Amino acid sequence: MRLTRRLGLLAAAATLTITTAVSAAPTYINILTGGTSGVYYPIGVAISQLYGKIDGARPSVQATKASVENLNLLQSGRGELAFALGDSVSDAWNGVEDAGFRAPLTKLRAIAGTYNNYIQVVASAESGIRSLEDLKGKRISVGAPKSGTELNARAIFAAAGLSYDDMRRVEFLPYAESVELIKNRQLDATLQSSGLGMAAIRDLASTMPVTFVAIPAEVVEKIDNAAYQPGVIPAGTYDGQDEDVPTVAITNILVSHEGVDEETAYQMTRLIFDNLDALGNAHSAAKAISLDNAAQNLPIPLHPGAERYYREAGILQ
């Protein structure tokens, strides 16, 4: 009897240990951003700090090539939250192969629409580039291959009657590398998609005279994608930029996937909107994030956890 009782106690202890281990399993939240010199990364770092408040959470931040890579990583379960451009999210959901998606990414779920990206075409003043047409015969960088930025470049050039073949040289480089090559007179211009006040362009504009090239509204209207809307880079956003610059605006979306449990997604959403001031302090672009617009015009379904938060907040019926 004593042996039987002892074995029973040991079994109970083992069961308790296993149960405790399971209940204490950490919740990993890997946040997929973009290049460290862009806007996604500092906002992602700020979000990771907020997510440390989730019981048992272990947040981390991963620098990536941004939208297209992020969405593919989410589909494969290698991240829990990602920044992505709205047009890339739509292409991912529909499996547009030319945009970098071999099949529809049906596991994706939206957390929130956030702030706009603005297409920023900046050229060295000495290059003589003043318009999109002036890019012909010039050296330009358009972001990493099949990144959200590069897909934007293709769409805008096509609407303006241009192609990569019109350029003297096209490089596929992210923010910081593009800017360094312009500083070194190895490139004439770069097209980048980012929030306003992006660090790399601020650095370039403070280092040498530059020109911000307009993307006229009539060009934007020719792009067959509702995610592209006319926008403006306000005067004074960068050193030496004394006038408003017409351009393209595209909404950024925070995306998760169906494998993230509802309660975690609910907390992820709640902490963002409970701490908008902290995100705005991380980067000025985040000051445009608004709860009123967060669940509108999304090209993919909301995550059930995010949907629950928006219903409680009264912005969904």
Q: Per-residue confidence of the chain (317 residues) as pLDDT tens digits? A: 444 455 454 444 444 444 444 445 899 999 999 989 889 999 999 999 999 999 999 999 999 999 999 999 999 999 999 999 999 999 999 999 989 999 999 999 999 999 999 999 999 999 999 999 999 999 999 998 878 899 999 999 999 999 999 999 999 998 899 999 999 999 999 999 999 999 999 999 999 999 999 999 999 999 988 889 999 999 999 999 999 999 999 999 999 999 999 999 999 999 999 999 999 999 999 999 999 999 998 999 999 999 999 999 999 98
Residue-level pLDDT at 24:
57
d(CA 264, CA 102): 29
Widest distance between CA atoms in the chain: 95
Q: 146 with 68: CB under 8 angstroms?
A: yes
Record the tokens describing residue 287, joined without a space. 């000051």
Quick one: three-class SS letters along the chain?
Answer: CHHHHHHHHHHHHHHHHHHHHHHCCCEEEEEECCCCCCCHHHHHHHHHHHHCCCCCEEEEEECCCCHHHHHHHHHCCCCCEEEEEHHHHHHHHHCCHHHCCCCCCCCEEEEEEEEEEEEEEEEEHHHCCCCHHHHCCCEEECCCCCCHHHHHHHHHHHHCCCCHHHCCEEECCCHHHHHHHHHCCCCCEEEEEECCCCHHHHHHHHHCCEEEECCCHHHHHCCCCCCCEEEEECCCCCCCCCCCEEEEEEEEEEEEECCCCHHHHHHHHHHHHHCHHHHHHHCHHHHHCCHHHCCCCCCCCECHHHHHHHHHHCCCC
Q: Which residues of 196-228 are buried (b: 16+ CB within 10 A; e: fewer)?
A: bebbbbebbbeeeebbbbbbeeebbeebeeebb
- pLDDT tens sequence across 130-175: 999 999 999 999 998 878 899 999 999 999 999 999 999 999 998 8
Record the tokens describing residue 289, joined without a space. 């994030």
Record the tokens describing residue 127, joined without a space. 């290059």
Residue-level pLDDT at 148:
86
Could you give the domains of the chain?
27-114+252-313 (3.40.190.10), 117-250 (3.40.190.10)
Residue-level pLDDT at 174:
85
d(CA 120, CA 192): 5
**How many Å separate Cα 17 from the centre of its chain?**
41
Q: 85 with 150: CB under 8 angstroms?
A: no
- Paired strand residues for 59: 29
Identify which of 182, 239, 184, 235 has the alpha carbon closest to the alpha carbon of residue 206. Answer: 239
Residue-level pLDDT at 291:
97
- Paired strand residues for 118: 194, 249
List C-alpha distances in Å: 104 to 154, 232, 296, 300. Answer: 21, 33, 22, 11
